[in-house]
Amino acid sequence: MLIANPLYDVVFKYLLDDNKVAKLFIGAILGMEITELEFKPQEVPLAYSDLEEPDEKNPLVKVFRMDFKAQITNPDGTTLLVLVELQKSKTDTDLMRFRRYLGSQYIDSKNAVTIDGKNKPLPIITIYFLGYTLKNFESNPIIRVKRQYIDNFTQNLILQKDPFIEALSHDTIVIQIPQIKHERRNELEEILTIFEEGNKSKFEMRFPYPGKYEDIVKRLNLALTDEQLRYAMVEQEEIVKDYKQKKEQLEQYKKELNEANELTQNLKTALLNLKSKGVSTLEISSLFNLSEEKIEKLIS
């Protein structure tokens, strides 16, 4: 089936705007059954520049955020209410933004539930979609960071959990989009093929897909019929292309500047060596075709 690729943030948001699809998709990532899911649309700032703060003149989408309150049903029938924080980033310069945003989630009084008349903070699970690969994890498309309770003396695992500890620590799932390729070792890796960069061609792709998740495919197929969405995809592609060109130009400028600085330093060293051997500034001027004033400035 032909689908829109959720590599584009506008498509990703469109995908998760459907509650049924969002429960399927997030539940597959968590490896848990989600029975209820509440989307917090007020927590979705999209446009960020390549600078430290948003810039309307350069609205490159870098960090995409969505938050959900999810009721998870455990295999034993018990339920747990958690906050799922989802962030998607294209570059490795957004670490401090991740930390600031996570901190704001911990202190937000709205991220709590009232039990027996008392506000109890919700446990947090973070999901990060990275548009780059972490060093030393080139062969790990999905990385799960899980907490463990360990007795300090015996070093034995403690199976029970406590709301105090749960509220002050969290599990993390890191999905490295560039590594979603080739192997389909389990169901989740097959589901995440919707992000595969190698399949992106004019915002469309074809691939096999696990049957019980067909609603995800249908939602992405429906996205192709939305003209406004397709325009936004084209616009984002142009913005990213322009950003890459500017970044390449900046890198080239930095390279040339470093080379110029290195040449200047080498010239300065040579001039100082000549001066130390008693060669006059006039003689050096004639040798290097530089003015005496320029030579004095370089060695001063």
Please list the residues that pair with 81 across neighbouring strands: 71
CA-based max dimension of the chain: 91
Q: Domain ranges in the chain? A: 3-225, 226-300
Question: Is residue 174 classed exposed, middle or buried when 0-12, 13-18 and 19+ CB atoms within 10 A define those classes?
Answer: middle
Higher-pLDDT residue of 263 and 160 is: 160
Residues 6+ apart with CB under 8 A from 53: none
pLDDT mean across residues, the chain: 82
pLDDT of 175: 96
Taking phi over 0 as left and psi of -120 to 50 as alpha, with beta for the rest, 68 belongs to beta
Residues 6+ apart with CB under 8 A from 172: 125, 126, 127, 128, 144, 145
Instruction: Report CA-CA distances (Å) from 231 to 24, 43, 62, 202, 213.
Output: 27, 24, 19, 12, 27
Mean pLDDT of 71-82: 88
Residues 6+ apart with CB under 8 A from 149: 157, 158, 159, 160, 161, 165
Q: Is the pLDDT of residue 216 over 70?
A: yes
pTM, entire model = 0.74
pLDDT class of 173 with cuts at 50, 70, 90? very high
Mean pLDDT of 59-74: 78
pLDDT digits (tens, 9 = 90+) for 275-299: 888 888 888 888 788 888 888 888 8
pLDDT of 206: 55
Mean pLDDT of 153-181: 92
Helix (H, G, I), strand (E, B) or coil at 278: coil
Q: Where are the alpha helices (DSSP H) in 182-289?
A: 187-191, 214-223, 227-276, 281-288
pLDDT digits (tens, 9 = 90+) for 244-277: 677 777 778 788 778 778 878 888 888 888 888 8
Mean pLDDT of 232-255: 74
Q: For residue 42, give the DSSP letter.
A: G
